[in-house]
Chain A
Amino acid sequence: MKFFSELTKGIIKENPIFVIVLGMCPTLAVSTSVDNALGMGLAATFVLICSNMMISLIKGIVPAQIRIPIYIVVIAAFVSIIDMAMEAYLPDLHKALGIFIPLIVVNCIILGRAEAFASKNNVLNSMADGLGMGLGFTLSLTVVATIREILGNGTWLKMQVLPSTYDPMLVAILAPGAFITLGLLMAVMNIIKEKN
């Protein structure tokens, strides 16, 4: 049962964006459209699962004082390998996701989970944690991106959803729009939490 609860906690209870407030930089940067959000979310989920498993495997041999630099080396090496392999063997996928991959290195959700979870738990639970956190990240990004894309461009996943007479609210897809949307969504999450 532990496996299942580790998996689901990332989606609402410990949502990485709205509750733990990690990974703000990629959240603000790529939530301009839904397809970007999905691409970033899925790429990060994949890296998160792999790095969590890897960190969990080596947790016994890493000295505590230098664990953070070692995690960073592991994560950065991992991301680079995925980037190169994808570019060489899956060029179409790389074209769609390629711009997000270097951003994953600086995504602190990955380091955060390595430090807070994977370094203290077994491989299976670390995998579940990575998958759950990744899904939570993807979902939250998609929610932010849905609001910003509809308001700022009148489209959802590149499909026109508002009448073409709608004058797009440009601020929504620029940086200030990201902060405003994120702030309002966090407020909503907090209201829901307080009521329960």
Chain B
Amino acid sequence: MKLYLKLGFILLVVSVIATGILAYVNSITAPQIEALKQEEAIKSREELIPDSIFEEVEVSPDFSYFIARNKDTEEIQGYTFIASQKGYSSNVKTMAGVSPDFKLMGIKVVEQSETPGLGANCTASAFTDQFQGKTMEDLMADKDGGKIKSLSGATITTRTIASSLKQAIQALQQDVVAKQEVQQ
């Protein structure tokens, strides 16, 4: 009995030390990681809709989008947002830019840890380029009758990206239309 208590206690001490070290490392690295992510998001937005000023609109705690206005004329160039949905083995986050008539201008997968060699290929331009010009109706994997060519061996990842974008565009359109009506 005494032995078991002693062993349990040693294990507890080791775990507490490990947890303490991890908490410490996390507290130093977390702000840095967050800053890098912000920077990356700004860069991705500019890649999707260049020469614009972005203004954030929060719809709900889980969904917000950015209105992109031309730097000089202040005309609305489009909208960007991050769509997120659970894929095969991770949460897949995709940043997308859409034109004022809600057609996709481009997408960029910003966060994923799908299977290397299969689902992880969703970041390749060979896959993401096909989203250009697609409307909400096209956003389904080709196997389900849509116009998105599936990644080989990763239908679930393809479906995830297509349907997360579709839902996000829907939410965006609803909000934009509702706000226009209020203005009128």
Contacts and interface: CB of A to CB of B under 8 A. Distances in A.
Interface of A: 29-33, 36, 40, 63, 65-66, 69-70, 73-74, 76-77, 80-81, 84-85, 87-89, 91, 98-100, 102, 170, 173-174
A132 B116 CA distance: 25
A170 B153 contact: yes
Interface string B135-171: 0000000000000000011000000000000000000
B7 A63 contact: yes
B29 A30 contact: no
Contact of B153 (A29, A87, A173): A173
Contact of B152 (A63, A100, A170): A170
Given A63-B10, A66-B11, A91-B36, A81 B116 contact: no
Residue with the greatest number of chain B CB neighbours at <10 A, chosen from A74, A85, A88, A102: A88
A85 B152 contact: no
A69 B21 contact: no
Contact of B117 (A36, A63, A76): A36
A81 B11 contact: no
Tell me the dominant secondary structure on chain A's binding face: helix
A32 B29 contact: no
B33 A70 contact: no
> Considering the complex of A and B, which 3 residue pairs feature the smallest CB-CB distances, nearest first?
A32-B117, A88-B29, A88-B32
Interface in B58-106: none
B7 A65 contact: yes
B46 to A, nearest CB: 18
B26 A84 contact: yes
Contacts of A88: 28-30, 32-33, 36
Contact of B113 (A40, A84, A102): A102
A63 B36 CA distance: 42
Contacts of B117: 30-33, 36, 173
Nearest to B7: A66
Nearest to A98: B113
A36 B116 contact: yes
A88 B26 CA distance: 10
Given A29-B115, A85-B25, A89-B29, 11 more contacts: A31-B117, A32-B116, A63-B10, A65-B7, A74-B14, A88-B29, A88-B32, A88-B33, A91-B36, A102-B113, A173-B117
B155 to A, nearest CB: 12
29 contacts: A29-B115, A32-B116, A32-B118, A33-B117, A36-B116, A40-B116, A63-B10, A70-B10, A73-B14, A76-B18, A81-B25, A84-B25, A84-B30, A84-B33, A85-B29, A87-B29, A87-B33, A87-B36, A88-B32, A88-B33, A89-B32, A98-B113, A99-B116, A170-B152, A170-B153, A173-B117, A173-B118, A173-B152, A174-B118
